[in-house]
Structure 1
Amino acid sequence: MRLIEALSRLGSVGFVEEVLREIRRRTAVAGIRLVGVDGPSGSGKSTFARALAALADAPVIEADDFVSWGDSRDGGLGSRRRSSVRS
């Protein structure tokens, strides 16, 4: 909860709570609500996602866990996709 406390001091918790209310207002598909957070490098995506996940008691799944952005020859899918295609 230290993240939430820090955001509270910055006055940001209200925004995160507002976003969470909007998410919960939407219909879940098969009991699941998938939320994507996008933005430029250094904009606070991870911080926001962690705060949202803490309030929602939900996991954060980083796109980097699935995709390697290093090799543009394969559309940015990198070796992870190549190895899974070969299997």
Structure 2
Amino acid sequence: MEYRVSPRNGEEISLLGFGAMRLKTNGTNVDMPMAREQIKYAIDNGINYIDTAYLYGNGSGSNEKALGEIIEELGYRDRVYLSTKMN
């Protein structure tokens, strides 16, 4: 994995990011086992930049909530940089 150093804090951020928009849903909610597998795979393979948004998933913050729960459960919070958007 290639990284670039952030000019703001000197931290290394992966050139490739994980776009959480397409976390699998079962109609209305994030499919947590599948999402956990996807996120774990990305981070374990060196991706440390994750992009999400309130409207991703079912449009009510479910994507951000699921992402936060999974990262906390995996104990990976200190390994990733999160980016979100609002409209």
Identify whether the pair has TM-score above 0.5, normalized to the shorter chain. Answer: no
TM value normalised by structure 2: 0.35
TM value normalised by structure 1: 0.35
Bigger radius of gyration among the two: 1
Structure showing the higher helix proportion among its residues: 1
* More contact order relative to length (CA 8 Å, sep ≥ 6): 2
Structure showing the higher strand proportion among its residues: 2
